[in-house]
Structure 1
Amino acid sequence: MQRRSLLKGGAAFLSALLLEKGYAGPLIDLNLFDTAYEPIAKGPFEPTWESLQGYEVPEWYKNAKFGMWAHWGPQCQPEAGDWYARNMYMEGNWQYEYHIKKYGHPSKFGFKDVINEWKAEKWNPDELVTLYKNAGAQYFMALANHHDNLDLYDSKHQKNWNSTKTGPKKDIIDGWAKAAKKNGLPFGVSVHAAHTWSWFETAQRSDKKGPYAGIPYDGKLTTKDGKGKWWEGLDPQELYAQNHALSEKSLDNGMIHRQWNWGNGVTPPTKEYCEKFYNRTIDLINKYNPDLIYFDDTALPLWPVSDAGLRIAAHMYNKSIKDNGKLTAVITGKILDENQRKAMVWDIERGQSNAIEPLTWQTDTCIGQWHYDRGIYDRKEYKTAQTVIHTLIDVVSKNGNLMLNIPVRGDGSIDELERKVVEDIGVWMRANSESIYGSRPWKIFGEGPAQEGAAELTAQGFNEGKGKPFTDKDIRFVIKENNLFATVMSWPLTGQVVIKSLRSGSPYHTSEINAVTFVSTKEPLKFEQTDEGLKVYFPDKQPAASYANPLKIS
């Protein structure tokens, strides 16, 4: 029937829109409509924001605090940093110039050809995940696809452009998942491919000047163009998804950011595109059973032009309940409103909240660029272990988790400078993790001058590193069982610190303080409580990795 055909697959989306418009009548019965899509697991969650707001963050995730991420795929092969597959098609961009020198002109050697160069010959997932676990990671996440649209798993809905068929000819997600399970770590996947539609529009361009002026890049090629080439029989449009008109102001390279929420003149994605993304993601969930999915989207993927993301979330939650007897799954998203934060975990990219958040949240950041950049290695510009530890402590004090990416080279290895950072994080975590794992926010998150200069969030985050550096005057608090942990964010040169929030008569801590212990050495410390604050005398000997110094106050 005509009505059935029109509404097929879109019932939840229409219901949500009706609710938003104040419609009080009966909602669409989702069970009326057959679909050709991967089915949603049955359970209490329906694909609406209202239903998903019944979500509760699982305890394992609240307790974990620290996860590590391999944001690794074919864009790491050139070793030229983030968004390579988009920027290599931007005439004049440094990555465009780099691409021409390394591979040739993008009309002749496009990103599909970069994928063919990627072999992952040194990839050892067991060794890397074990390294990360030894550094204190309590969960591990791997890139399942990026905006470049290559699925890094045996994808039945992206049959040719996946890592088992092209590039390394390996099931990357399967390898990471098995390594995480071997190490007893919950496993997450990050999914970014919803934005390929507009993100890859640069591949439709051509040079404006020079010997290749007017010659199109390879973004509009189809199967018939591949005769006699390595990709004969493959359709580049399954990868690039550029068989559509350009979005408004597409030649403005910054417009992609203003159109990230599928507004501001972006060419609307087709239903076929949205449903293929939905099917690919459900297949990923069903095959590899991730505990966590990170979406690089405003709210859920393709919202509000499609309800695909809502259906994925409902499936993930219902499947988790069915498989585990309770809801243990986590889904993260960006730029969430107050109600959306009840339906999933709010993720802040490269930034931190400036307050204790009522609901568990996450920051994701990296010691370099998301995709491996050889220049950062050459210039020795990685974040230090101290910077990572300071971020972790600050985030945890505000009810957050830290997801840290260690960039992986195209061959699947990490360099020795990165390895040293990871190992140094592990030294601190082994001595001090009592103050991190299983903790909860206190009445205030901290004190000191650093917060006075904290930068506000911009878009999905991006305020890290913009404030004052931490000193021994900066303290961060958490509680765990009957103990308060106060972490002094630098070693005091005077040999003592004064914690003003714990002064006599403090409204925050009214009970008597009986003991103060230096967490890393278990050494009891001398202290005195005055009207000025709790004065604590530090050990004479400074321990290794004293980037930050937790005190256990009983």
Structure 2
Amino acid sequence: MNRRNVLKNLALAAPAAWLPSVVAGQNWSPLAPPPAGSFQPTWESLSGYQVPEWFRDAKFGLWAHWGPQCQPEHGDWYARNMYREGSDQYKFHVEKYGHPSKFGFKDVINTWRAENWNPDELLAFYKQAGAKYFVALANHHDNLDLYQSQHQPWNATRVGPKKDLVGGWARAARKQGLRFGVSVHAAHAWSWYEPAQGTDKTGPLAGVPYDGRLTAAQGRGQWWQGYDPQALYAQSHARGAKNIDNGLAQWNWGEGMVPPDKEYCEKFYRRTAELIDRYEPDLVYYDDTALPLWPVSDVGLRLTAEQYNASMRRHGGRNEAVVTGKVLTEPQRHCMVWDIERGQSAHIEPLPWQTCTCLGDWHYDRRIYDRHGYKSAQTVVHTLVDVVSKNGNLLLSVPVRGNGTIDEQERAIVQSIGTWLAANGESIYGTRPWQVLGEGPALASSAELSAQGFNEGKGKPFGAQDIRFAVKGNVLYATALGWPTDGQLLIATLAAGSPQRPQPVRRVELLGHAGPPLTFERTAQGLRVQLPAQAPAAGLAYAFRIT
């Protein structure tokens, strides 16, 4: 799509029914006046964005999606679901901590110490495992900022661990030469925390308000004296007509959701602008449809324009920043990087994109560890190879325990991924998609995306006949997602006379194999490669260098 069509179609990026009715205004205040030719906080202006080469070359990032909801070690969305009477996490919470009218999520935060957190050790390990960028959680829907914040008293330097977690991660990442990113999820606290305003419907405490209704005045003599619970629980307000679990449209401030007010939007802007200014991340991941608070506010547009402009000031007019968002219209994909959650595109995308997924749950869940339920290293490597063939990156979350460590099962999986990348990384880093992404039976069973993504694991499992391609200069890499049992690999796409590769094949090498180049023949059926007697020790997937 050329720029003229992009500008034309950006008018369709927000349906008329979504036009902002609570827009926070254009009174944004960047640290320095934007120079001529800089980005403005409009979709049209942002459509001039170009994805930086560092991101296109990096391919693989690791993520610490770590915050106070990891402290109970009982899975995703704990701070919401603990207030949903009868839910698994409600029952767990009542048994472990007490009733949410007496011990709420603010009190879970107070138990979180992050006592064994060692970012230098973890980031050195992640660098050795082949990560080229690292992303740290800056806040989640639980609304606790994990950095020094002037605008959110509920932050990790003042409560909980009383440490600047984002600052520690940033220093450790840069010490290892990794690009550093942050993920921002707090825009949805307004509706996400609504259950904290509720009560039990049955039982001995029926009708007793949960702690989400507490006020600052009620904190006298409590550990949280001087803190307003409403600044954490996103203030009391009228509840939406429906529950946000019922559909993506509600996540996008539709279907009867009460939109946030101007004060809420502006506070989110100030918190996030300070985060970007203080820590200068190379990447900001927004867990939002398009941008935070869009379309009821323009603060996401303002933040993105300012980040791009700040990056240009730091890099001599070159924008090195990456901003990711979900469920983007085609025109919006020219303004930022499309992120697909727990899923993959079925095609080679014309613009670079990213998939984010996790070894287990986003928040640490001890039950997954107990049942050995993490994704295998092979699953991760297969995902990485598949995504790279389609012009994408993989951002992998390794769940962190409340104490700041990863467990030994996770460590072994990450180490295996690193061993594979050490042997096969040239087929991943710095590559670009080829004319076709690959071949094999799994292509025919690619599952459609659902909402933000959520199609991983729904297609046919990969096997030895599934091959994915990538190129670097004149070198073609063909990676088989299994080891053929008959001692031969047939690449049908490279048959004699192939329009994709009409030039002769002169040499075929197997990465990680210490022996000589492999023998092969090119016939009408394909390029048939004779394999060595044993597969390379790294296993998992098998990359062939074809020149």
Q: Give the alignment's TM-score, normalised by structure 2.
A: 0.94
Distance 2:121 2:477 in 1: 33
Q: Conserved in 1, the CA contact under 8 Å of 2:28 and 2:302?
A: no
Superposition pairs of residues 6-405 of structure 1, within 5 angstroms: 35=27, 42-43=34-35, 44-158=38-152, 160-250=153-243, 254-255=245-246, 257-325=248-316, 326-405=318-397
Distance 1:256 1:502 in 2: 45
Q: Give the alignment's TM-score, normalised by structure 1.
A: 0.93
Q: Which of 394, 406, 425 does residue 414 from structure 1 map onto?
A: 406
Deviations 1:39-79 (A, max 9, x none): 57514100000000000000000000000000000000000
1:36 to 1:525, Cα distance in 2 relative to 1, 3 A: closer
Counterpart secondary structure, 2:193: helix
Could you tell me which amino acid in structure 2 is paired with residue 149 of structure 1?
Answer: N
1:34 to 1:310, Cα distance in 2 relative to 1, 3 A: closer
Deviations 1:247-278 (A, max 9, x none): 1123xx62364411111111010000001001
Deviations 1:15-42 (A, max 9, x none): x9899799xxxxxxxxxx9948565751
| Unpaired stretches in structure 1, ≥5 consecutive residues | 1-15, 23-32
Distance 1:221 1:345 in 2: 40
* Bigger mean CA deviation after superposition, 514-523 or 494-503: 514-523
Q: How far 1:187 sits from its partner (Å)?
A: 0.1
Counterpart secondary structure, 2:143: coil
Deviations 1:446-493 (A, max 9, x none): 000011111110001000011111111100000001100000110111
Q: Does 1:460 pair with 2:491?
A: no
1:527 to 1:36, Cα distance in 2 relative to 1, 3 A: closer
Distance 1:183 1:553 in 2: 32
Counterpart secondary structure, 1:112: helix
Distance 1:346 1:109 in 2: 39
Deviations 1:399-429 (A, max 9, x none): 0000000000000001000000011111100
Q: Conserved in 2, the CA contact under 8 Å of 1:37 and 1:275?
A: no
Counterpart secondary structure, 1:259: helix
Q: State the match for 1:5 in structure 2.
A: none
Q: How many residues align?
A: 526
1:477 to 1:113, Cα distance in 2 relative to 1, 3 A: same
Superposition pairs of residues 421-440 of structure 1, within 5 angstroms: 421-440=413-432
Q: How far 1:100 sits from its partner (Å)?
A: 0.4
1:17 to 1:274, Cα distance in 2 relative to 1, 3 A: farther
Alpha-carbon RMSD across the aligned residues, in angstroms, is 1.6
Could you tell me which amino acid in structure 1 is paired with residue 271 of structure 2?
Answer: R
Q: Conserved in 2, the CA contact under 8 Å of 1:200 and 1:242?
A: no
Q: Conserved in 1, the CA contact under 8 Å of 2:510 and 2:544?
A: yes
Q: Conserved in 2, the CA contact under 8 Å of 1:140 and 1:188?
A: yes
Could you tell me which amino acid in structure 2 is paired with residue 552 of structure 1?
Answer: R
Q: How far 1:242 sits from its partner (Å)?
A: 3.1
Deviations 1:466-524 (A, max 9, x none): 11111111000000011000001101111111100000011111000000001122541
Q: How far 1:543 sits from its partner (Å)?
A: 1.9
1:360 to 1:17, Cα distance in 2 relative to 1, 3 A: closer
Q: State the match for 1:28 in structure 2.
A: none
* Bigger mean CA deviation after superposition, 321-330 or 538-547: 538-547
Superposition pairs of residues 518-529 of structure 1, within 5 angstroms: 518-521=510-513, 523=515, 524-529=517-522
Distance 1:545 1:36 in 2: 51
Distance 1:40 1:193 in 2: 26
Distance 2:518 2:331 in 1: 45
1:36 to 1:534, Cα distance in 2 relative to 1, 3 A: closer
Q: Conserved in 2, the CA contact under 8 Å of 1:201 and 1:242?
A: no
Q: Conserved in 2, the CA contact under 8 Å of 1:37 and 1:279?
A: no
Counterpart secondary structure, 2:137: strand
Q: Conserved in 2, the CA contact under 8 Å of 1:147 and 1:199?
A: yes
Could you tell me which amino acid in structure 1 is paired with residue 236 of structure 2?
Answer: N
Could you tell me which amino acid in structure 2 is paired with residue 53 of structure 1?
Answer: S
Q: How far 1:241 sits from its partner (Å)?
A: 0.9
Distance 1:517 1:375 in 2: 43
Deviations 1:379-403 (A, max 9, x none): 1000000000000000000000000
Q: How far 1:286 sits from its partner (Å)?
A: 0.5
Q: How far 1:91 sits from its partner (Å)?
A: 0.5
Q: State the match for 1:447 in structure 2.
A: 439
Could you tell me which amino acid in structure 2 is paired with residue 464 of structure 1?
Answer: E
Counterpart secondary structure, 1:295: strand
Q: Conserved in 1, the CA contact under 8 Å of 2:13 and 2:329?
A: no
Q: Matched residues, percent identical?
A: 62
Q: How far 1:228 sits from its partner (Å)?
A: 1.1
1:53 to 1:211, Cα distance in 2 relative to 1, 3 A: same
Counterpart secondary structure, 1:293: strand
Q: Conserved in 2, the CA contact under 8 Å of 1:198 and 1:256?
A: no
Distance 1:435 1:200 in 2: 44
Distance 1:503 1:17 in 2: 46
